Amino acid sequence: MNEKRKIRVATCSLAGCFGCHMSLLDIDEKLFDLLGVIEFDRTPFTDIKHCGPCDIGIVEGGVSNAENVHVLKEFRENCKVLVAIGACAITGGVPALRNNIDLWDCFQEVYLYEGGLEGNQIPNDPELPLPFDKVYPIYEVVKVDYFLPGCPPSADTIWKFLTDLIEGREPKLDYEMLHYD
């Protein structure tokens, strides 16, 4: 084996359910092949908290709060290629269902009427990420290079996409990998 530099990959989940990450893990034993050519930077697998310079950044989930923006911008600044994975990152997906509900109604319902953990009050700790009025797709906040659709995309789709990208080919997905009916 010659000493080829490993491709550095970071992943994160913003407003998502980790389903897309689970699907990535579903490539099963191929993970070993993958780890032969890549190394992980910040990901939920490594628990590295901040992203350093990377080749590929994979983002799951949409943008729902201020913290999501910080993470997303950090990814954009550090990753040569940024990939939106799954319906949530691409369109807002399931979390964007809240877009039809007024934020104030939402807060009242959760914290005032039902009685939250701290009694009837709206949490205002600066440590808590402040939510946006709506959930946004990530391409509205940063430039995105690739969109990998699905909820989640299948393990095979992710594998094909990543191997194409890693081997320097323009990723190409057959119809079979993109249709869900």
Partner 1 sequence: MEPHEFPHIEQQLAPVFERHGCEANQLLKILREVQEIFHFIPPAAITCVASHLGVPRTQVEGVAGFYFFLSLKSVGEYRLLFSNNVTDQMQGNPELMQYFCHKLWLESGKVSEDNLLSVDSTSCTGMCDQGPAALINGWPLTNLDRDRLDMIAALIHDKKPVCDWPSMLFEVKDNIRRAGTLLGEPFEPGAAIRATLDRGSAATLMEMEASGLRGRGGAGFSVARKWSLCRASPGDHHYIVCNADEGEPGTFKDRVLLNSYADLVCEGMTVGARIIGATQGFLYLRGEYRYLLKKLEEVLARRRVAGLLGKNILGETGFDFDIEIHLGAGSYICGEESALIESLEGKRGRPRNRPPFPVTHGYLDQPTVVDNVETLACAARIAIQGGEWFAAIGTTQSTGSKILSIAGDCARPGIYEYPFGIALHEILDDCGAEDPYAVQVSGPSGILVPSKEFGRRISFEDLPTAGAFTVFKRGRDILQIVQNFARFFAHESCGFCTPCRVGTQLQKKIVDKITHGHGTVYDLEELKHVGHIMQSMSHCGLGHTAANPVLDMLEKFPDAYEHKLKNFAFEPVFDLDGALETARKITGRDDAWAHLS
By CB under 8 A, tell whether 44 contacts partner 1. Answer: no
Nearer CB in complex with partner 1: 25/50:
50
By CB under 8 A, tell whether 77 contacts partner 1. Answer: no
Among ligand SF4, partner 1, none, residue 61 binds (CB under 5-8 Å by kind): ligand SF4
Residue 102, amino acid: D
Among partner 1, ligand SF4, none, residue 142 binds (CB under 5-8 Å by kind): partner 1
Nearer CB in complex with partner 1: 33/140:
140
By CB under 8 A, tell whether 53 contacts partner 1. Answer: no
* Cα(33)–Cα(106) distance, integer angstroms: 45
What is the pattern of x (binds partner 1, CB under 8 A) and - over residues 117-136? -----xxx-xx-xxxxxx-x
By CB under 8 A, tell whether 1 contacts partner 1. Answer: no
Nearer CB in complex with ligand SF4: 25/112:
25
Contacts of range 127-134, beta carbons closer than 8 Å, 24 or more positions apart: 129/65, 129/66, 129/67, 129/68, 130/65, 130/66, 131/64, 131/65, 131/103, 132/63, 132/64, 132/65, 132/66, 133/103, 134/92, 134/96, 134/98, 134/99
Closest separation between CB of residue 25 and partner 1, Å?
A: 30
Sole binder of partner 1 in the list 5, 49, 143, 169 (CB under 8 A): 143
Among ligand SF4, partner 1, none, residue 149 binds (CB under 5-8 Å by kind): none
107 to 113, 121, 180: CA distances (angstroms) = 9, 10, 35
By CB under 8 A, tell whether 147 contacts partner 1. Answer: no
Sole binder of partner 1 in the list 17, 31, 38, 141 (CB under 8 A): 141
* Cα(89)–Cα(82) distance, integer angstroms: 11
